Each structure stands twice: as C-alpha cells, then as structure tokens.
Amino acid sequence: MTRVLASQVPVLIVLLVLGTVAKISVVRSGREPGALARLGPAVLMPGRLQRPSLLVCAAGELVLAVGLLVSAHPLFRWGTVAFFALSTYVLLELRRRRPDAGCGCFGEVSSAPVGLRSIGRTVVLTGMALMAVWAGAPGWMAFAHPAWGFTLAGVAVLAALSPEIDELVDRARHRAPCEQRRGPQEGVSLARLKSSGPWRAHEADLASAEPYDSWRELCWRFFAFQNHERDDVVFAVYLAGRRPAVRVAVVSAESLPEYTTVSA
Amino acid sequence: MGYPSVERRRVLAAAALGREAAAPGPGPEGGDPLHAVTGEILDVSPHLIAIETPDGRQERLVIAPWATAWHGGDVAPADLPVHATVLMRALRDGKVVERIWADTVRLTGTIVSVEGRKDVTVELDCGPHRGHRTIVIPYRATGRLRVRHPQFEPGFLFDAIGIRKDGATLALLPATSQPAYPARAVPPPPPSYAGAQSRISGTVTWSDVFDAQERGAAYPMVERSDAGCPDAGVSCAALPYLAIGSLLQVQNVCANRSAVVPIVACGCVAGRFCDRCVECGTSPRGRIAELSPASYVELGGDLVNGCFNAQIGLG
C-alpha cells in the first residue's frame, strides 16, 4: 500500500523542478510589461512585483521538490498539498479575472488561456500530493524502488490534462504561433461561437443573431452584438482548436464594463 | 449599423478578456515631451513664426536659436515661404520650435509607369485605400534617386521624400534602398518559432496620407476581411495579427522615446517593404508600422531621414 501511495512522489518532484526551471527561464528571457504575451498568475500582481513573484513561486517549488526528495517530513508533504490547492484557487481566480492570460505553470509554453484541463491538472496534483502525505518514505526511496505501473498511470493522467503537450507538438512541427497564423474564416469562428455554452446562455437576449462588428486581435476573434437593452454583448472566440475557449462580457452603452461570469 | 468607432473595439475587447482598457499617449521615458504642431505659415521672422492651424486658430511660436528647417533642402527658418504647410517639432508644451519641415511629402508605392527623359514623371500605386499618385522627379534629383532605386520600372517599389511645389509633387531624396524584388513577391518572414515573442524589432516609417493632426499608425498585419483591404496581411517581419482599433506601443530605439498609438489604417504598402533602417545601428528587416507624421515627430523621428529603428509591443 505504501508503494502505491509513494508512487506519485517522483512525478511531483519532477513536475516541481520543471516548473522552477521554466519560470526562471521566463524571468531570464527578459519579458517586460506591455509584452505581447500575458503570462501566468503574475499578471494579477502590479507591474513591479511581477518578476519577484515569479521568482518566489519558483523558489517555493524548488524547496518543496528538494524537501520531498530527501525527507518524509510532514511539513514538505502538507506544504505540497497546500501549494497545489492554492494553485487551483489562483488558476480559478486568473480565469475569472484575466481570461486571456495563460497559466504560466511551465513558463511561456503555458500561454494558452487557462481552461478546464489546466485546472483539472492542479486538482489531480493536489490529490497526488495528499497521497504522498501518508507515503512515509523520502522521495529518493520511491526513485530507487519505483512502482512503474502506478507512476506511469499518474504521468498519463497528467499528460492528458496538459495543454502544453499540444503546444510542444506544434512547436516541433515549426508552426508559427497562433497570433501569426492566418485564422479560420470569420464564418467558421461564428459557427464555433454559436455551438458554445456562453452563446446559448446569452442567445435569448440578443437583438440580432448577426454581429454588428467583428475583428481579430492576436489569437482572439471578437464578435459584437447588441441586446434588447441596446447594451453591447461581446464574445471573444479563441482561434485555435475545434472547441475553442469563448469569453463573453456585457458592456453597457455608457461603456462601463460590467463583468459577467465566464464559462467555456 | 454604422462602422463602430475604434475606441469602442478597445473597450469591448478589454471587457471580454478582463484587461484594463489602455489609453493612447506618450510613454514615460525620454524627458521633455515633444509636440508636433501643424499649420500654414502666416508670417515668419528669425525668432517668431505665426501659423494658422487646420482648425482655424492662429498661433505664434518662438523659434529656438538652434532651430533648423527643411524645404527641399536645409534652409534658415526665416527663409521659409509664407503659405507653406509646416510640421514643427516643438518643446515646452509646444511653444518653442526646434525643427521645421515645410510642404514635406512622402511618396511610397509601387511604380505603375515611368515617363519623360529629363524630368521623370512617375505614377505610383499607393495601395487600395490611397489610390494612385503622380509625381515628378526633377532632373537634379534623378541621379540621387536612381542610385537607390536600381529597378526603376513598373512593378517595383518606390519610396522617396519630397516637397509639394506649385501643385506638383516633387521627389527629391530616396527614403530607403529599393527592395530588389517586385512588389508582388514579398519574401516570407523568417521561420522563427521562439514561442510568444515579447517585442518585435524593425523599422518604423511615416506617411503623409493621414489627417493633419491625426495620431495613429498603419499596421500591415490585419485580417483582410476585417479591414476590407485585399493586400493586407503581408509582411516580412514576423508580426502578429492586430485589428484596426488595437493599440500599439511603439518605442523609438534611437531616441529612447515610446508612445502608445492606435492602429487607424491598414498598412498594406508598408508591409511590402522588406528593408532596414540604419538610423542608429541596423534594424532587423521589415516595416512594422507606418506612423502619421505627428506621431512620428513626437516619437523623435526626423521626417527627412524617413525611418527610425523601433520595437513594438501590444499597448
């Protein structure tokens, strides 16, 4: 039983180290505010704190990884649980407040908007960290006597939940990033919008089923409609993927943005 | 419904994606902000210039002792002709003039026809929004222009700076070295995939087809269907797609000034130039934006040089 519980510890350690390396490389690459890519929970921080917050996060991950590797102290085990639980909350908050930002979990590879997969991944990681609490042995023991079946199962679940894998495949095929590719036709994006959940939630309020304005910016196509109160309803459709992320906001005619709940 | 204002697009996009809507304006660096003042000269003396602005106001500005003027060549400010249209770079809240460009025009486009032996008449296609333009190259300027435009025949690109004189448009100075390919054969951008790029470097030029006091930019990489521009979406710099109405943060690397300017037009001609700017060092290839004269001057550019090395980011 202990082996089963300990089987995910190597996965956690490797992921934490990868996260540290990726975040530090983002900071080292000299990304500045006003940059084209908006990345990670750091966008929730004020400008001058963005770099330090990424570094603090990276340092925290490294401490947890080393702690998990060399000791079985409950401090590190529960610390990891807390870290991933907190990440889940931060991602939910990021998705609510800055739906265009990527999770930044693995640096710039994670620049796609936060979706259910990224959030599901942190939930699974929280579960794995909870299993590790009762594993009882330091991480190097798990590396020395791996329970291959369970470890690989954990890796497979995480891979399925990682949007970064798709991105890495695209990079390996030398495709231009989404914001430089010619997007799908306006009609195709409109059809994708009309098969989405946010559309069904707002369809009844719209005065017309045809947008009065549509434009593309970076990787998003926007469609502006008017509802029966003559407020603007604007939908943003992500241009990559068959079932793209869709965001919606209702903006009153006095142009004060009024936020509605976001769903994809 | 009518064509919506570009500010509305910014507000709507910011609301949908939960960003703060940014506002156009100069950036913090660069010290004393520069002001571009446009008008028609009513009277000029060595120390004072009186102009009438396009909205009908009369203004008197002090000419700084170190000020210079350009009217087809370097001249003393006091020698500028009355009724010339001037664009001035001014300091101290736009009251002290230090550089004056009179009747300056920028002639950018594809050569349609070349006629004449001594004074050469050239017809340029300046893109679907700007139409055709007929220009004259006076005999004294042909050598200088031809040496930078070796392919002087229809289908190739042309870019020069000149003046408006007696109703004719004269090309006097080459604004760039002519790209060696025909206008229809723009080389593709380098196949670089370095992930999401934070800033893009290249050359920023100006164009005289904007309104007199307009602050804005023409940007090559807009979707053809959105901008109603069949030639858009071509560039040899790896530019991201943006929309008319998006904000662009432009930084003049040479003068260390930056500003946030709205995209107000499709820069389909600018996108066909795969040239470099050598204003300070050598820029990477590709025109990344074409600014209105006022924005260009306020970023510290000199109209006669024709370009500055720049970096852009999303505003």
Please state the rounded mean pLDDT for residues A240-249: 81
Answer yes or no: is pLDDT of A148 > 70. Answer: yes
Answer yes or no: is pLDDT of A255 > 60. Answer: no
B35-102 falls under which CATH superfamily?
Copper binding periplasmic protein CusF (2.40.50.320)
Judged by average pLDDT, the poorest of A100-104, A114-118, A169-173, A253-257 is: A253-257
Helix %, strand %, coil % of chain B (to 5): 10, 40, 50
Chain B partners within 8 Å of A112 (Cβ): none
Q: What is the DSSP string of A209-251?
A: SS-SEEEEETTEEEEEEEBTTS-EEEEEEESSSSS--EEEEEE
CA separation (Å) from B253 to A32, A252, B31, B47?
A: 16, 40, 14, 32
Give the CA dihedral B115, B116, B118, B121, nearest 10 degrees. -50
The CA distance from B43 to the nearest CA of chain A, in Å, is 44
In the numeric block, which tokens belong to residue B60? Answer: 């008197």
> B198 and A249: CB-CB below 8 Å?
no
> B314 and A36: CB-CB below 8 Å?
yes
The shortest CB-CB distance from B17 to any of A100, A108, A255 is to: A100
Query: What is the structure's pLDDT at A264?
Result: 37
Among chain B residues, the shortest Cα distance to A43 is held by: B19
Instruction: Encode pLDDT of A199-231 as tens digits.
Output: 888 888 888 888 888 888 888 888 888 888 888
Could you count the other beta carbons within 10 Å of the beta carbon of residue B41? 20
Q: Helix/strand/coil (H, E, C) string of A248-262? A: EEEECCCCCEECCCC
Query: What is the structure's pLDDT at B5?
Result: 67
Q: What angle do CA B209, B147, B275 make, to 5 degrees?
A: 50
CA separation (Å) from B85 to A183, B29, B51, B110?
A: 43, 30, 9, 26
Band the pLDDT of B198: cuts 50, 70, 90: low
Domain spans of chain A?
Answer: 2-175, 186-258
Amino acid at site B224: R
The shortest CB-CB distance from B243 to any of A111, A216, A251 is to: A216
Query: What is the structure's pLDDT at B186?
Result: 79
CA distance A91 to A105: 10
Q: Which of A107, A244, A113 lies closest to A183, judged by CA?
A: A244
Instruction: Encode pLDDT of B171-186 as tens digits.
Output: 888 888 888 888 887 7
Please state the rounded mean pLDDT for residues A68-82: 87
Domain spans of chain B?
Answer: 6-29+198-314, 35-102, 105-174
In the numeric block, which tokens belong to residue A121? Answer: 């991944």
Answer yes or no: is pLDDT of A30 > 60. Answer: no
The domain B6-29+198-314 is placed in CATH, from the list 3.40.190.10, 3.90.230.10, 2.40.40.10, 1.10.1370.30, at: 2.40.40.10
Answer yes or no: is pLDDT of B313 > 70. Answer: yes
Please state the rounded mean pLDDT for residues B46-73: 89
Band the pLDDT of A260: cuts 50, 70, 90: very low
Cβ–Cβ under 8 Å, residues B287 and B203 = yes
Same fold yes or no, B35-102 and B105-174: yes
Please state the rounded mean pLDDT for residues B38-65: 89
CA distance B305 to B313: 23
Query: What is the structure's pLDDT at A258?
Result: 42
Answer yes or no: is pLDDT of B211 > 60. Answer: yes
Which carries the bigger pLDDT value, residue A49 or residue B273? Answer: B273
Query: What is the structure's pLDDT at B3?
Result: 47
Band the pLDDT of A82: cuts 50, 70, 90: very high
CA separation (Å) from A134 to A85, A252, B41?
A: 17, 53, 85
Q: Which of A82, A116, A185, A180 lies closest to B190, judged by CA?
A: A180
Answer yes or no: is pLDDT of A4 > 80. Answer: no
Residue B33 makes CB contacts below 8 A (sequence gap 6+) with B26, B298
Query: What is the structure's pLDDT at A110?
Result: 76
Amino acid at site B101: W
Please state the rounded mean pLDDT for residues A128-146: 81
Query: What is the structure's pLDDT at B315?
Result: 61
B105-174 falls under which CATH superfamily?
Nucleic acid-binding proteins (2.40.50.140)
φ, ψ of residue B5 in degrees (nearest 5)? -70, 155
Q: What ipTM, to 2 d.p.?
A: 0.79
> B241 and A171: CB-CB below 8 Å?
no
Residue B91 makes CB contacts below 8 A (sequence gap 6+) with B32, B34, B35, B64, B98
CA distance B279 to B277: 6
Judged by average pLDDT, the poorest of A44-53, A127-136, B72-81 is: A44-53
CA distance A153 to A260: 38
Answer yes or no: is pLDDT of A27 > 80. Answer: no
B→A contacts (Cβ < 8 Å), by residue, are: 1, 4, 8-9, 11-19, 21, 189, 191, 193, 195-200, 221-223, 225-226, 233, 238-246, 249, 313-315
Query: What is the structure's pLDDT at B199?
Result: 77
CA distance B106 to B217: 15
Of chain B, the end-to-end C-alpha distance in Å amounts to 28
Q: For chain B, what is the mean pLDDT?
A: 84
Please state the rounded mean pLDDT for residues B11-34: 77
Please state the rounded mean pLDDT for residues A71-77: 86
Query: What is the structure's pLDDT at A263?
Result: 39
Query: What is the structure's pLDDT at A52?
Result: 81
Handedness of CA A246, A249, A255, A258 (dihedral sign): negative
Answer yes or no: is pLDDT of A62 > 70. Answer: yes
Which carries the bigger pLDDT value, residue B115 or residue A42? Answer: B115
Of chain A, the end-to-end C-alpha distance in Å amounts to 39
Query: What is the structure's pLDDT at A198?
Result: 84
CA distance B296 to B302: 8
Question: Which pairing describes strands B85-91 and B96-102: parallel, antiparallel, or unpaired?
Answer: antiparallel
Answer yes or no: is pLDDT of A194 > 70. Answer: yes
Query: What is the structure's pLDDT at B11?
Result: 82
Band the pLDDT of B35: cuts 50, 70, 90: confident
Query: What is the structure's pLDDT at A214?
Result: 86
Please state the rounded mean pLDDT for residues A26-54: 64
